[in-house]
Structure 1
Amino acid sequence: MIRLMGMRAFSSLPRWSGRVLAGLWLLAAPGSAVADGRPGAFPAWSFSGPLGHFDLASVQRGYGVYAAVCSACHGLEQVHYSDLAGMGLKAEDIQALSAARQTMDGLDAEGHVQRRPARPDDRILSPYVSPAAARAANRGVAPPDLSRVVMVRPGGASRIYGLLTGYAPDAHWQEGRGFRNPYGISGFTAMPPPLHEGGAQYADGTAATVAQQARDVTTFLAWVSAPHQDERRRLGVGAALYLCFLAGLFMILTRRIWSYVSK
């Protein structure tokens, strides 16, 4: 009975309201197109928009790109290996991933840094023992931590994707400036081109093109920046639907009450 009454109530809304709701839905729905390699062409990120969600297969491939390429210079110091369970990995997978990596474990008697296989409760640290060591190994520029890079850098995911794919084919180091890249600060970046065709191996058979690697690792970094985003959005959608139900019920009751009032 309530269902029929609700349908009758919503049928009384103006006809144009359906078009408005449809338009809002199209604006909110995530796209599925991919970049075609042209400058300024970016993927339509599945996680963008109020109804977006992370493609966990892409997130997992992105971790593979990070581990194979980015981790040589960049850390994720606000992330523990155990946090990777959120991208769909099992406990034994996380144990194997962490054990394959080395982490710092204090100093020995002579003051040298000791290393050991990482454990799931360890953070994903920078490979350098100190900021000074990072600068010394990278022409005076310390590679930034990537834990929240998509969230804090202007341009977000598209800026990161553009930076990874925006190098000229013959990119070379220019003294005092870096590598030319339109998405770097002042059009330059100290990071050499990190991605190359076939630079990562995907277990699911996906072709490891530069564009695909950039898309996947950017998706991974976006997930790292906001790992609970999907849960918050699901909660928000549920709350919005509940409020819509209450609003419809209130409208029905109001019409029923005032129907007895003579005009």
Structure 2
Amino acid sequence: MKIEAKSVTKSFGTKHAVNNLSFDLETNKIYGLLGRNGAGKTTLMQLLAGHTLPSNGEILVNGEQPFNNRNLTKDICLVNESNNFIKRLRIKDILKVASLFYPNWSWECANDLLHTFNLNPKLKTNALSKGMESSLGIIIGLASRAKITIFDEPYIGLDAAARFKFYDVLLEEYEKHPRTIILSTHLIDEVSNLFEEVILMRSGELLFHETAEKLVEASMIVSGDREAVDRFTKGKNVLHESMLAGRKVATMFGEGLSVEEAADYGLHAERSSIQQLMVYMTEETRGGIKYA
């Protein structure tokens, strides 16, 4: 199911939570939706899932607007960070309701994941810890087998072992039953190897939409003698600079950054992580710089 965002703006009063956003998402890929708190990620996911209408522009899924469109929303599952469930119901009842909503629902997957996350289906959701609630949301998202599955910070309250279980089962489900997966997370280093493409937002705007591979290949961290670093970085797009143990460290982004050229200057060079790029690219002090 192809997703198209065309000059999408979502306003709340005078604030633009999403501002003039345009992009296309292809079918059956894993997308990382990244940005700082308040970047507009949650609002964008609600728009994609058809939970709200844009103030301007349009969201299209297979050429149709998802808002109030049951023909589409049955194939779109959004797992929010919290408040996904009616608190008085038991886990088994929540899963039953979900199975009626999503036509591709897999009870085999749901039951396997109940065992994986050690959840008792007889428990009421108001008795769940935050981690258990997150596990239930993950179960619904994966067992829905919705053609578009969206996770908004799905791991809140999960320890490291449980988070890595989630990453493993997400990849297993994706390989067995391909779908479009959009994952918003702050723990980027843990999951960046899953991303095929990255959507980076700042203050409601699109900074970057590119393959994860190209994003990393367009980055570089160099370190060494201060004068040598300054000579090498002159005229290049420097995102961040610091001094560490008497050596200067600079993070850059742009085309044509060569590790071999940096070595000619006597510098140590390596590619940046996606998490480092997200932090530096979304610095408000960088003003009007745009990367999209």
Alignment TM class, shorter chain as reference = under 0.3
- Structure number with the higher helix fraction is 1
- Structure number with the higher strand fraction is 2
- TM (normalized to structure 1)? 0.26
- TM (normalized to structure 2)? 0.24
Q: Which has the larger radius of gyration?
A: 1
